[in-house]
Amino acid sequence: MPRIIAIINQKGGVGKTTTSTNLCHALAEMGKKVTIVDFDPQGHLGISFGVTSRDVTGVDLALIKEKNIEEQLIPVRDNLQLIPAGSKLKDIEQMAGAGAPRGVLLRDALRGQLADQDFVFIDCPPSSGLLVANALIATSEILIPMTSDFLALQGLSHLMNTVKRFEGALKKQYKISVVISRYVSTRRISDQVLGILLNHFPNQILATKIRETALLAECPSFGQTIFEYSPKSRSARDFRSLAQDFLENRVMRDDNR
């Protein structure tokens, strides 16, 4: 069975979908079989892979059991397949009946499915609502993209409070990895925030920092990943290195950051 990983941060603008898109493509390029679920009603992940049709259905119909989740797969690159959000995803909270176990819809949809895959990633919305609850119940592994500014630290504190509540309720402990994204080495605040993160998340921050660059912001408008848009760029090197970190659990140390 695949490892299921929720890519989550309740704060917007931290590079979550950029991380989802390019990390998954990097892993697929390395020969891993990867499925990524667009669990954000905005559908930005699908757009980033060039899936722009408004008529496409996806995880929305799998959650309400109109479709099997494997019926909703769209191959988007070699070894990489997408389950789009679907237009009804934003209505899931209202569509689930008042007495229904609304938090386990995704877990039930994934159960016994995608057995040939190495990884299933869930690209979560920037919120703390029902969809994020579904993702947390469906997985025991969390990947947190994090920018190096103090407002992002505040958002991370809120997220960790949410995670701890779920750990207590579900009686499990999440494997947590942090990705430093949109990193600007010339800003003093970047180093200060990184120091705080290393103190609070020892041996949990993946070794490679994803440096801020205009290229990563430009890719989605062409429906391309960084490996297609600018394959020899430093951003492409960053994400290939990050994928290796993820596979080998290479983490940042305070003395080699």
Give tens-digit pLDDT for 22-38. Answer: 999 999 999 999 999 99
Distances (CA, A) of 168 to 94, 138, 172, 216: 27, 15, 7, 37
Distance of CA 107 to the CA centre of its chain: 16
Cα 220 from Cα 229, distance rounded (Å):
9
* Helix-helix angle 150-170:188-200, to 10 degrees: 20
What pLDDT digit, counting tens, does each position of 187-242 carry?
Answer: 888 888 888 888 888 999 999 999 999 999 999 999 999 999 999 999 999 999 99
Specify the pairing of strand 74-77 against strand 80-83.
antiparallel
Cα 61 from Cα 67, distance rounded (Å):
5
pLDDT at 101: 79
Q: Which amino acid is at 103?
A: G
pLDDT, one tens digit for every residue, the chain (257 residues): 899 999 999 877 788 999 999 999 999 999 999 999 999 999 999 999 999 887 889 999 999 999 999 999 999 999 999 999 999 998 886 664 544 578 999 999 999 999 999 999 999 998 878 999 999 999 999 999 998 887 778 778 888 999 999 999 999 999 999 999 998 888 888 888 888 888 888 999 999 999 999 999 999 999 999 999 999 999 999 999 999 999 999 999 765 55
Residue 93: other Cβ atoms inside 10 A: 12
pTM value is 0.93
Residue 47: other Cβ atoms inside 10 A: 17
Q: What would the two tokens of residue 158 be? A: 């809120």
Cα 197 from Cα 208, distance rounded (Å):
14
* Helix-helix angle 150-170:130-138, to 10 degrees: 60
Give the architecture (CATH level 2) of 3-248.
Answer: 3-Layer(aba) Sandwich (3.40)
Cα 52 from Cα 48, distance rounded (Å):
9
Distances (CA, A) of 158 to 36, 127, 165, 200, 244: 25, 11, 11, 14, 29
Specify the pairing of strand 74-77 against strand 34-38.
unpaired
Query: Residue ranges per domain, the chain?
Result: 3-248
Cα 43 from Cα 154, distance rounded (Å):
26
